[in-house]
Amino acid sequence: MLDAMSSAEYTQWRGFERAYGPIDRRYSDEALANIHEQLQAITYLIGAQLTSQKKGAKNPVPQPKHFPRPHEVGKHHD
């Protein structure tokens, strides 16, 4: 990794981590959970759009639900 970065870039990263703490899996886990929820919402809206043109048709896609974050695993959500 050090071969791919200049000393100036390495110094910037060290300063960032000193100020904000190291980047770990929490950031990527949160980003993936947000992407999952957005995909649920998009799929739900597409299903609603397709069934809105038919009388009495129900959306075949379930309503989007909160995707649990790592710190929420084991907690009950309604």
Could you give the 3-state DSSP secondary structure of residue 47? helix
56 φψ region: left (φ > 0), alpha (ψ -120 to 50), beta (else): left
- Asked whether the beta carbons of 18 and 37 are under 8 A apart, the reply is no
- pTM assigned to the model: 0.58
CB 30 within 8 A of CB 67: no
CB–CB of 66/77 below 8 Å? yes
The pLDDT tens digits for 15-64 are 988 887 777 788 888 889 999 999 999 999 998 888 887 777 888 888 99
Residue 77's pLDDT is 56
Q: Which amino acid is at 61?
A: V
pLDDT of 78: 56
Q: What is the pLDDT of residue 75?
A: 67
